[in-house]
Amino acid sequence: MLDFNALFTQAILQDAKTVAHDESGLKKQLVEIGRHESLMREVVLTRTIDNLLCYVSDLLGLVFKFRPEMMKSGEQERLDFILRFEDMDELRAALAEKRVEKLSFMGFRDLADYVREHMGFDLINGNADIERASLLVEMRNIFVHNRGVVGTVSARRFRSLEPLVGRPLSITHDELREERQFVENTVIDMDVRAIAKYGLPAKGVAEPPPHLIGP
């Protein structure tokens, strides 16, 4: 497992060494970086969840491309939309893109329910882990859309956030590390199961160097 936090810190230190020309300059640079540590953790969490959501969208698009029968539903399309395409392949690709875009606006809980009900696939195994991922998505939304302050809407969705209404949301270094590992493990598990279930094309990925693999 990649230790992203160690890599992130290493990159910051390397940048600081480049900017600072002496020991005192380096210390000043590190102090300045420390002032923004909380913000950097928020950014890392946000990017982590963005990557998770992008992966899920890409995965669903791939499933619809290679298994178009997964798009079957009672929904109707306008005739003028259908007639824009010259052949069935183009139409299927457009329908897949349209379906993925629609699903991307769902909350993570609702999306997981939809995929389970309509596609017979669990994005994440276990209700507890679905709730954990859903909470992380909500935290991402709080940081991005509400300046990091917990609102009543978020508290209604997740009771664990109720005591934090009106207060800034924060995440510690250790919590960030744990949640990143959870997301990485979740994606790996999802990927392996989706490939096996839908017969998706896949290629091997080389293992990262040992010194970059975290516990």
4/142: higher pLDDT: 142
99/215: higher pLDDT: 99
Q: Residue 96: pLDDT above 60? A: yes
Helix H, strand E, coil C: the string for the chain is CECHHHHHHHHHHHHHHHHCCCHHHHHHHHHHHHHCHHHHHHHHHHHHHHHHHHHHHHHHHHHHHHCHHHHCCCCCCCHHHHCCCCCHHHHHHHHHHHHHHHHCCCCHHHHHHHHHHHHCCCCCCCHHHHHHHHHHHHHHHHHHHCCCECCHHHHHHCHHHHHHCCCECCCCHHHHHHHHHHHHHHHHHHHHHHHHHHCCCCCCCCCCCHHHECC
Query: pLDDT band at residue 24, thresholds of 50, 70 and 90?
Result: low
Query: pLDDT band at residue 13, thresholds of 50, 70 and 90?
Result: low
How high is the pLDDT of residue 6?
58
3-state secondary structure of 205: coil
Query: pLDDT band at residue 12, thresholds of 50, 70 and 90?
Result: low
Query: pLDDT band at residue 31, thresholds of 50, 70 and 90?
Result: low
| Percent of the chain as helix, strand, coil, to the nearest 5 | 70, 0, 25
39-55 average pLDDT score: 94
Q: Residue 126: pLDDT above 50? A: yes
How high is the pLDDT of residue 1?
47
Q: Residue 176: pLDDT above 90? A: yes
Give me the chain's average pLDDT, please.
83
Q: Where are the domains of the chain?
A: 1-35, 39-199
Residue 104 backbone dihedrals phi, psi, to 5 degrees: -65, -20
How high is the pLDDT of residue 16?
52
212/182: higher pLDDT: 182
Lowest mean pLDDT segment, chosen from 57-66, 134-143, 200-209: 200-209
Percent of the chain at pLDDT > 70 equals 78
